[in-house]
């Protein structure tokens, strides 16, 4: 679902004459609450009017491709790193050197290097299993601990994951399995898993929200989102697979042909500050690992240093042709299954 939020109305809240500062068309691929918090605060601080379009990472990449001859967005904030790398390779985004780059974690700068300066890391998060502990208990099921557990027939129809065409999260999961098992075994695994999947959701955040609402017992999602739901009072827990798991470098890119380039650069610089990164939690209730080294990891947030992470090959799985090929294979072999 595309969400358009005109924040023009907020201009009147600020004492700054917003129109004089211009406009920023923000394509946003984090959760809507964070998108709104970022837009509202940036607008309040700078007087720049922000129009937000929120979509999943895959959907945003598709929109940017479709609009390449006539770009409508200025800056793409958030979403998994692979599609940002694909956009860089396809010359859909432009290089920028922020004066704040020196404050960032090495993985955030690695994303910058890998993209030829066209994308930068804003946050990181690990893939894992979210579960509704009440629902599992009622069904007499234990939470899954491993990728091997997940295909157990006892979980038939109990698991939800997203569709990689629209969701960056789902693509990270497929790329993770390919790296853990090899490609053919990963697709055989996904076929074996299929009877346990009750829906391939559009957005990567859909499955964990379905877990929180009690609509599905288990989700494959970023584990920081499970903590957000738990903190909101839902009976949600999370685990990460014992065999190892993949992770994302949530990224930001300025679009090629951005009509509001000065405003886009200002937002880019602002989004890398400690204050802006704290907003993700303080207002958006998000618990990713922030990329600014001085931004603290929120208490209770998943600590990536103690999770068994694979050495995710961003160069390979962020390549446009590889991404397309794996998603097309998923469409043929998994998406088409009854």
Binding footprint of ligand PLP on the chain (CB under 6 A): 29-31, 56-57, 78-80, 125, 162, 167-169, 203-205, 222, 225, 248, 250, 286, 288
Number of Cβ within a 10 Å radius of residue 44: 17
DSSP conformation letters of 192-225: HHGGGEEEEESSTTHHHHHHHTTS-SEEEEEHHH
Nearest-CA neighbor of 201 among 227, 188, 219?
219
Relative orientation angle of helices 32-46 and 261-271, to the nearest 10 degrees? 110
Smallest gap from Cβ 315 to ligand PLP, in A, equals 19
Choose between 55 and 266: whose C-beta lies nearer to ligand PLP: 55
Nearest-CA neighbor of 295 among 40, 169, 124, 168?
124
Choose between 74 and 225: whose C-beta lies nearer to ligand PLP: 225
Smallest gap from Cβ 206 to ligand PLP, in A, equals 8
Smallest gap from Cβ 18 to ligand PLP, in A, equals 28
What is the phi/psi pair of residue 74, to 5°?
-110, -40
Smallest gap from Cβ 2 to ligand PLP, in A, equals 12
Token pair belonging to 142: 């234990």
188 vs 174: CA distance, rounded Å: 12
144 vs 9: CA distance, rounded Å: 46
Choose between 203 and 320: whose C-beta lies nearer to ligand PLP: 203
Smallest gap from Cβ 59 to ligand PLP, in A, equals 7
Smallest gap from Cβ 287 to ligand PLP, in A, equals 8
314 vs 95: CA distance, rounded Å: 18
123 vs 156: CA distance, rounded Å: 34
Choose between 76 and 267: whose C-beta lies nearer to ligand PLP: 76
Choose between 253 and 288: whose C-beta lies nearer to ligand PLP: 288
Nearest-CA neighbor of 250 among 106, 75, 33, 77?
77
Smallest gap from Cβ 60 to ligand PLP, in A, equals 8
Choose between 29 and 43: whose C-beta lies nearer to ligand PLP: 29
Choose between 49 and 112: whose C-beta lies nearer to ligand PLP: 112
What is the phi/psi pair of residue 242, to 5°?
-65, -25
């Amino acid at each position: 679902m595309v969400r358009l939020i005109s924040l023009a109305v907020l201009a009147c809240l600020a004492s700054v004459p917003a129109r004089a500062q211009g406009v920023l068309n923000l394509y946003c691929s984090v959760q809507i609450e964070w998108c709104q918090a970022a837009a509202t605060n940036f607008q309040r601080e700078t007087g720049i009017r922000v129009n937000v379009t929120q979509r999943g990472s895959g959907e945003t990449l598709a929109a940017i491709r479709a609009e390449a001859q006539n770009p409508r967005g200025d800056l793409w904030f958030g979403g998994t790193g692979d599609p940002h790398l694909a956009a860089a390779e396809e010359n859909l985004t432009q290089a920028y050197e922020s004066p704040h780059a020196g404050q960032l974690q090495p993985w955030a700068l690695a994303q910058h290097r890998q993209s030829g300066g066209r994308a930068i890391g804003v946050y990181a998060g690990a893939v894992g299993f979210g579960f509704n502990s009440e629902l599992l208990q009622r069904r007499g099921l234990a939470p899954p601990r491993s990728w091997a557990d997940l295909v157990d027939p006892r979980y038939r129809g109990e698991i939800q994951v997203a569709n990689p065409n629209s969701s960056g999260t789902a693509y990270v999961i497929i790329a993770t399995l390919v790296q853990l098992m090899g490609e053919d075994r990963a697709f055989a695994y996904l076929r074996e898993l299929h009877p346990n999947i009750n829906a391939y959701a559009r957005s990567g955040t859909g499955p964990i929200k379905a877990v929180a609402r009690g609509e599905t017992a288990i989700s494959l999602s970023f584990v920081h989102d499970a903590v957000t739901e738990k903190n909101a009072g839902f009976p949600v827990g999370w685990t990460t697979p014992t065999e190892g798991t993949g992770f994302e470098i949530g990224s930001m890119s300025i679009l090629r042909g951005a009509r509001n380039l000065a405003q886009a650069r200002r937002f880019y610089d602002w989004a890398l500050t400690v204050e802006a990164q704290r907003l993700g939690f303080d207002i958006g209730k998000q618990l990713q690992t922030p990329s600014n080294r001085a931004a603290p990891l929120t208490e209770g947030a998943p600590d990536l240093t103690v999770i068994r992470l694979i050495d995710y090959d961003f160069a390979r799985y962020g390549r446009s042709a590889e991404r397309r090929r794996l998603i097309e294979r998923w469409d043929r072999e998994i998406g088409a299954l009854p």
